[in-house]
């Protein structure tokens, strides 16, 4: 009898914990993580698969924007935890009002139709991003500084020998009398990289919430330890 009672109590405790975890989290079509770097794994067939390791970090709903109050519907997501002393007072007050105890310093919005006010203060769940599903990843590409047209756009360049003085220059950039100007969007030397970039249809290889990481097949935009946005693929059924 004692063993049966203990077993029932354990089962009840597990069910209660499961209900609590489900009620304290909300599923959204995107979340924010940290690009930890790249490595490789081997699948069941022994094939070599390059993967990007995404560190799972806490994401909380810090504000629910409604059509009546804000003119549109969206969830404001807070992420990027820091030490308490590094948090700013307005941010702390905003998070406290939402019922979030962590010191989060970065905020972003996720547009949604039919927002639920009950999601305020809840943690964003990643259970909807299971292996063999596809995601779109958005990040800030690596900055390359000021580059020429050969590296920036892949121009061929000129001859390297026989007295040529045309090597890596862009060449002619426009006409003379007409139109007497350089067209906009002309491919010329300039700042390369450091732009918001999205790569679509990246396959999820593994999701490990216990150890706090996700494996994505191939590369994703951004530098190591940079923040990235992982969202459900918009071009996959």
pLDDT digits (tens, 9 = 90+) for 130-182: 999 999 999 999 999 999 999 999 999 999 998 999 999 999 998 888 889 99
**Per-domain residue ranges for the chain?**
35-52+130-143+193-237, 60-123, 147-190
Residue 8: its pLDDT value, please? 52
Q: Are 236 and 220 in contact (CB under 8 A)?
A: no
214 CB-contact burial (10 Å; exposed 0-12 / middle 13-18 / buried 19+)? buried
Please state, in angstroms and rounded to a whole number, the distance separating the CA atoms of residues 163 and 140.
42
Query: Do the first three CATH levels of 35-52+130-143+193-237 and 60-123 match, i.e. the same topology?
Result: no
pLDDT(88) > 50? yes
Instruction: Of 23, 36, 74, give the one whose Cα is nearest residue 230.
Output: 36
CATH topology of domain 35-52+130-143+193-237: Elongation Factor Tu (Ef-tu); domain 3 (2.40.30)
Instruction: Of 72, 134, 73, 82, give the one whose Cα is nearest residue 103.
Output: 82
Residue 237: its pLDDT value, please? 57
In whole numbers, what is the pLDDT of the chain averaged over residues? 90
Q: Flag the least confident range among 5-14, 38-47, 152-161, 185-194.
A: 5-14
CATH class of 60-123: alpha beta
Render pLDDT for 95-129 as a digit per residue (tens, 0 to 9). Answer: 999 999 999 999 999 998 889 999 999 999 999 99
Instruction: Of 124, 14, 106, 117, give the one whose Cα is nearest residue 59.
Output: 124
Please state, in angstroms and rounded to a whole number, the distance separating the CA atoms of residues 193 and 195.
5
Give the distance, in angstroms, between the CA of residue 62 and the centroid of all CA atoms in the same chain.
18
């Amino acid at each position: 009898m004692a063993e049966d009672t203990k077993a029932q109590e354990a089962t009840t405790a597990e069910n209660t914990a499961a209900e609590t975890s489900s009620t304290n989290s909300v599923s959204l079509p995107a979340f924010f993580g940290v690009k930890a770097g790249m490595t490789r794994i081997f699948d069941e067939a022994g094939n070599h698969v390059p993967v990007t390791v995404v560190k799972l970090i806490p994401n909380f709903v810090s504000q629910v924007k409604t059509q009546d109050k804000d003119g549109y519907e969206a969830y404001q997501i807070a992420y990027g935890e820091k030490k308490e002393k590094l948090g700013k007072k307005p941010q702390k007050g905003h998070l406290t009002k939402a019922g979030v105890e962590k010191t989060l310093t970065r905020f972003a919005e996720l547009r949604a139709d039919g927002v639920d006010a009950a999601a305020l203060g809840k943690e964003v769940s990643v259970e909807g991003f299971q292996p063999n599903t596809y995601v779109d990843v958005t990040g800030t590409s690596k900055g390359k500084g000021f580059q020429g047209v050969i590296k920036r756009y892949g121009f061929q360049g000129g001859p390297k020998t026989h007295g040529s003085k045309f090597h890596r220059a862009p060449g002619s950039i426009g006409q003379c009398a007409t139109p007497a100007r350089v067209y906009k969007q002309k491919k010329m030397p300039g700042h390369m990289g450091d732009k918001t970039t999205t790569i679509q249809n990246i396959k999820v290889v593994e999701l490990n919430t216990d150890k706090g990481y996700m494996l994505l097949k191939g590369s994703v935009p951004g530098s190591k330890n940079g923040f990235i946005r992982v969202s459900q693929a918009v071009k996959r059924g």
